[in-house]
Every structure is written in structure tokens, then in C-alpha cells.
Amino acid sequence: MKIWKFLTLLWVISFLSLPLFSQRVTKITVDVDRNYYRIFFTFDGKPWYRMYKDPKRHIISIKLENTYKFSKEYYSVNIVGEKNLITIFVRNPELDTSRARVIKKYRTLIVLIPRKHKKFAKYVVVIDPGHGGHDPGAEYYGFEEKNINLAVARKLYYYLSKDPRFKVYMTRKGDYFVSLAGRQKFTAKVGADLFISIHSNANPYNPNRRGAEFYVLSNRGIYKKWVDLAVHPQKAKEFLSSQMVRDKTVRKKVLKTSLEFTQEEGEQLAKELRKMWCRYMARYIPCGGIYERSFAVLKVPGVPTVLVELGYMTNRRDLHYLTSSRYQWAIARTLYLGILDYLNLKPLKKERKGG
């Protein structure tokens, strides 16, 4: 009798737990209209799920059981699946992640993301003029790096702020110091869609070294930032919603996926910036390469980040262009066009330069 009860109980438990282990995604489809962006996830069994949202970072996560790895992109929305979690990165400013919801229909989960009013559909860009205040950066031939960085950043700010498709912020607007951690936090706080840090390079051992260089987040940088945020929930709250941070499993997985997204999209942004530099600026300042580094300002989970070294202050020719207002405008416009290219946008018909 006891054996019979035990076997019956075991069968009931197995039956009840069956749906939890039959959640492989068999199909993903997307439907877009003027009101909604819909993602249909079809499973091989009835799915159990829990939804998490972070509107500031434009992230939606769905906690599941036993799904599998995949990575897809549909209309500027990246969908990443891994064991126990699907993470959706929304890069389309027309979509409102704060009002997103999930509808369950037997073996299908439908993620509904409403469209915003066009008035509020803008890309958020953070421009970071490197150094500032008591930190001058490189100093050569009577020039300080912090001033060059700020001058170019202001001109890039002008181009972006005159474009109605953008909402633009600067980590500093004058000659004052902002910590590296403060720049990260500010970028996360305003819900940036991309981040670009402006610097000027130097090599006192080789004054012939020239050219612009582009830096993106390295694997080492991903690991160090992930470890720091995964084990310190209070720090993680600066980059993810409290709801995500409270769930340890979600926190760790979303942070890892978000930092990988930062690296991958940062690389794509760097490629577009470099392409425009090679096209418009290489005749003045050579077009350098793209490199991976663990720089602090690049470690903003879920935000494509790039640090641009505009040229070498230790090279007289590069320095001439870096300190000329005329060429600073040319540099700013080149970076602006690179950002447009990354976002698949066309330049405005009437684009004009400030005075």
C-alpha cells in the first residue's frame, strides 16, 4: 500500500512538473503595425513564465525553464535566448517598453510593445568629453586634452541637438571633473541608446605616431564588470531595475547578456564611426584601427559604448587639426554621420553648421 501511494505521488509530481520541462522555443515570429510591435514565441509545451522590465535600459526579460540559446534581430529589436531566460533589447525609440506586457495563449507567449507618440520617439545619446577640471589629460605644446575633447564634444552636441530624432546629453558641459563611475551612472540614469567618449591620444616615445583610434569593451572588461555587479546588488541597481536585481538568477544572466550586447553593438558602432572617418577625415588625420579595452566608461550594461581617440597630441600635424575650430567641426560632423549610419538614419536635408 505504501509503495502504491509512493508511486502515485511520484506520477503526480512528474505530471505536474512536465510543462516546466517542455519549454523549448520552436518558432519566433514578429508582427508590426502602427500601434504595436508583437513578438510571438511558440513553445513545444505549455510555458511557465515571469516577466521583468527595465524601461530606462529598454530591456524586457522573460524567466522560463529549460529554453535554449538563440540570438535574433527584428526591426532594431534584439532577442537573445539562453537557458531559463529570454532577454529583449529594444533599440527602436518608437517602442515603449514601460507599457510592454505578455499574453499567454496555450503554447505561445505574445510580447506586446506599444508604440510611442512620434513626439517622444527619440534616440538618447550621451557624449562624454574625457577628463576635465583637475584632470587635464594629456598636455603637449601648450594644449590640454580636456579642452580639445570638450570643444569637439560641444560641436557634436550641436549637430545631434539640431536633429529632431535625438535627445542629447553631455557628461560634462564645462571644465569640471566627473568621476569615471559618475559617467557610467549618468549614462544609465538617462536611459542612453548609445554612448560616445571623446579623447585625444598621446605617445611621447613616438612623435610620428598619428591617427584616430576606436576602442570598445573587451572580454576582460565584461568579466570584471559582471563579477562586480553580480555580487553587489546595490551597485547593480544603478544599471538595472530593482525588480531584476532582486532575482539573483535574472540579475546575473541579464547583466552578462547586457554586457555582451554592449560589446557587440559597440563594435558595430565603432565600425560605422571608423568608416565615416576613413571617408571624410583620413586626408587630415589618418584612419586607425578598432581595439578592445577594459576602460571604465565602456562598461555600461545594455548600452553600445565607444571611446574615440581623435588623434595624437604628440604629433604636430595631428595636433594642428585637433586644435583648429574648422577641423573640430569636420570631426564632429564625421562622428555625427557615423552615428546616423549605425542607426540606419539618413542625414537631414537641411543640415547646417553652427557658428
Count CB-CB contacts under 10 A for residue 196. 26
Among 271, 276, 174, CA closest to 216: 271
Q: Please list the pLDDT of the chain residue by residue as tens digits (355 residues).
A: 455 554 454 444 444 444 445 578 899 999 999 899 999 999 988 888 999 999 988 999 999 886 778 899 998 899 999 888 999 999 999 999 999 999 999 899 999 999 998 778 899 999 999 999 999 999 999 999 999 999 999 999 999 999 999 999 999 999 999 999 999 999 999 999 999 999 999 999 999 999 999 999 999 999 999 999 999 999 999 999 999 999 999 999 999 999 999 999 999 999 999 999 999 999 999 999 999 999 999 999 999 999 999 999 999 999 999 999 999 999 999 999 999 999 999 999 876 565 4
Domain 122-342: give its CATH architecture: 3-Layer(aba) Sandwich (3.40)
**CATH class, 17-119 region:** mainly beta
Where are the domains positioned within the chain?
A: 17-119, 122-342
DSSP code, position 47: P
Count CB-CB contacts under 10 A for residue 197. 25
Integer Cα distance of 104 and 122 in angstroms: 31
Residue 177's alpha-carbon distances to 12, 133, 135, 172, 199, in angstroms, are 64, 4, 7, 8, 15
